[in-house]
């Protein structure tokens, strides 16, 4: 493919001097203007690039986070490592008011479309953006070698391609934000444990809460890569969307390695009693469930190592929600869907809540009862002193520190009493 470099003095100066970056494109021929879309009032052309309207919520969250980052750092340099048609780059420029955006996509066929879309915000002479067509790791590594770091890096990749993580961390400022993606539902569901082990260093088994495992697997992979480089990361929010499926996680890069294994361990699911258990590294070889009299429970399936800590930062999410209200994003769709999502994430941030969630259908099947009204059930659990919240991942599940057996007992107590 032919390398295109556009419009910015910010780009490392040595690129034009390297002849091997000239390629001939043989992949496709695009018809300009063949796919106009509108998102948050911004019109853009997909230009034949992959675009999914359902992913707009993930882009909303990224733009809110990028805007908050600019308020903290005073400036905002963004790298959109796999930008497609450039809609994310467009929104970072327009809505988050980024000072400079690198819109990179390995397919040169999208070049004219990306340039056209970004030109809707500002002309090339303003030098607020650059369009490149490099392999994502190469563009991140070259900026790292030039000591030209970013405040916000968005890596929206397909599958479980974790090969971008180390390059992204290297090219991120301390205190900067890394927004990463996985779309590998097979690995998170435990269908390809050797694949998840190779990609994220986690051997994943099947559990009823596999979609949360997918988020924890992704965070764990970033935790591992940051630790190798001598840093540590803090998850600010974790978002799952059923289409794809899509797992998106925002993390802050911190200076210095955490020298213990806190929040990085193992998660076990007991198929006999339905409980979720967390295990530390010093419990290796001693994994068991309280429902089993033996030291090693045959009914226990353990996955890991994974992230076992909080999926979200409640204070950060509250700031995001306040900004969304300030921008008029709340209630504009008539459904308050973004507000509901962020509030659910805040509820999930309760530090008393363990990993995993309980599907109401699974509880009802074990108890052989009908499911009581969700609000009534949650209220009864609160009165018993348990932490409980709904899950943003699925509407028919709750997160709680209540054991399955006690959960079933509470549900049975709420059943109507028959009168003979």
How many residues belong to the chain? 420
Closest to 60 in 3D by CA, of 413, 340, 279, 278: 340
Instruction: Indicate the range of 61-75, 117-131, 165-179, 279-293 predicted with least confidence.
Output: 279-293
Q: What pLDDT is stored for residue 125 in this prediction?
A: 65
Q: Is it the case that residue 274 has pLDDT exceeding 60?
A: yes
Mean pLDDT of 119-141: 92
Which domains are present in the chain?
Answer: 15-254 (3.40.50.150)
Summarised one tens digit per residue, pLDDT across range 21-65 is 333 333 333 344 458 999 999 999 999 899 999 999 999 999 999
Q: Given CA atoms 133, 53, 243, 342 in this order, what sign does their dihedral have?
A: positive
Phi-psi region of 123 (alpha: psi -120 to 50; beta: other; left: phi over 0): beta
**For the packed helices 193-200 and 210-228, what is the interaxial angle rounded to 10 degrees?**
30
Ordered DSSP codes for 278-309: EE-GGGTT----TT-SSSS-TTEEEEEEEE-S
Q: How confident is the model at residue 295 (pLDDT cuts 50, 70, 90)?
A: low
Q: Is it the case that residue 355 has pLDDT exceeding 70?
A: yes
Helix ranges restricted to H, 127-234: 136-145, 165-170, 185-188, 193-200, 210-228
What the block records as the tokens of 176 is 């900067």
Q: What pLDDT is stored for residue 20 in this prediction?
A: 33
Backbone angles phi, psi at 39, to 5 degrees: -140, 125
* Residue, of 17 and 339, whose pLDDT is higher: 339
Q: What pLDDT is stored for residue 35 in this prediction?
A: 80
- Mean per-residue pLDDT of the chain: 88
Share above pLDDT 90 across residues of the chain, in percent, rounded to a whole number: 76
Mean pLDDT of 333-341: 80
If one counts every other C-beta atom within 10 angstroms of the C-beta of residue 280, the result is 14
Q: What pLDDT is stored for residue 16 in this prediction?
A: 38
Q: What pLDDT is stored for residue 368 in this prediction?
A: 94
Q: Is it the case that residue 17 has pLDDT exceeding 60?
A: no
385 in Cβ contact with 400 (< 8 Å): no
Query: CA 158, CA 165: separation in Å to the nearest integer?
Result: 13
Q: Is it the case that residue 87 has pLDDT exceeding 90?
A: yes
Summarised one tens digit per residue, pLDDT across range 89-122 is 999 999 999 999 999 999 999 999 999 999 999 8
Summarised one tens digit per residue, pLDDT across range 186-232 is 999 999 999 999 999 999 999 999 999 999 999 999 999 999 999 99
51 in Cβ contact with 35 (< 8 Å): yes
In this prediction the pTM is 0.89
Closest to 394 in 3D by CA, of 248, 120, 209, 146: 209
Q: What pLDDT is stored for residue 22 in this prediction?
A: 32
Summarised one tens digit per residue, pLDDT across range 371-382 is 999 999 999 999
Mean pLDDT of 229-253: 96
Q: How confident is the model at residue 238 (pLDDT cuts 50, 70, 90)?
A: very high
Summarised one tens digit per residue, pLDDT across range 302-317 is 999 999 999 999 999 9
What the block records as the tokens of 152 is 């916000």
Q: At a CB cut-off of 8 Å and minimum separation 6, what does 418 contact?
A: none
Q: What pLDDT is stored for residue 161 in this prediction?
A: 81
């Amino acid at each position: 493919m032919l390398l295109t470099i556009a419009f910015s003095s910010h780009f490392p100066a040595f690129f034009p001097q390297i002849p091997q970056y000239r390629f001939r494109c043989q992949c496709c021929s695009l018809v300009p203007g063949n796919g106009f879309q509108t998102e948050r009032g911004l019109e853009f052309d997909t230009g034949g690039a992959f675009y999914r309207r359902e992913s707009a919520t993930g882009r909303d969250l990224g733009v809110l986070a990028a805007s908050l980052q600019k308020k903290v750092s005073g400036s905002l340099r963004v790298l959109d490592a796999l930008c497609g048609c450039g809609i994310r780059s467009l929104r970072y420029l327009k809505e988050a008011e980024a000072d400079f955006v690198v819109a990179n996509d390995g397919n040169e066929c999208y070049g004219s479309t990306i340039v056209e879309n970004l030109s809707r915000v500002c002309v090339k002479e303003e030098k607020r953006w650059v369009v490149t067509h490099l392999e994502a790791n190469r563009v991140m590594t070259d900026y790292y070698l030039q000591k030209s770091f970013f405040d916000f890096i968005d890596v929206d990749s397909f599958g479980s391609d974790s090969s971008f993580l180390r390059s992204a961390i290297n090219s991120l400022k301390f205190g900067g934000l890394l927004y990463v993606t996985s779309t590998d539902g097979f690995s998170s569901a435990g269908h390809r444990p050797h694949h998840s082990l190779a990609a994220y260093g986690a051997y994943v088994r099947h559990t009823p809460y596999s979609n949360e495992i997918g988020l924890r697997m992704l965070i764990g992979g970033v935790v591992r890569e940051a630790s190798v480089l001598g840093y540590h990361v803090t998850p600010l929010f974790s978002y799952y969307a059923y289409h794809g499926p899509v797992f998106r996680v925002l993390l802050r890069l911190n200076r210095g390695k955490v020298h213990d294994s806190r929040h990085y361990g193992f998660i076990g699911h007991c198929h006999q009693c339905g409980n979720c258990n967390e295990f530390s590294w010093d419990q290796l070889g001693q994994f068991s469930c309280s429902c089993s009299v033996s030291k090693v429970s045959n009914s226990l399936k353990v996955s890991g190592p994974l992230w076992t800590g909080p999926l979200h930062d409640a204070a950060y999410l509250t700031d995001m929600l306040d900004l969304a209200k300030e921008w008029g994003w709340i209630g504009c769709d008539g459904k308050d869907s973004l507000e509901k999502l962020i509030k659910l994430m805040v509820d999930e941030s309760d530090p008393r809540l363990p990993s995993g969630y309980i599907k109401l259908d699974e509880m009802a099947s074990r108890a052989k009862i009908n499911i009581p009204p969700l609000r009534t059930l949650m209220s009864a659990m609160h009165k018993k002193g348990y932490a409980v919240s709904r899950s943003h991942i699925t509407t028919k599940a709750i997160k709680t520190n209540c054991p399955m057996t006690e959960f079933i007992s509470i549900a049975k107590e709420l059943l109507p009493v028959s009168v003979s």
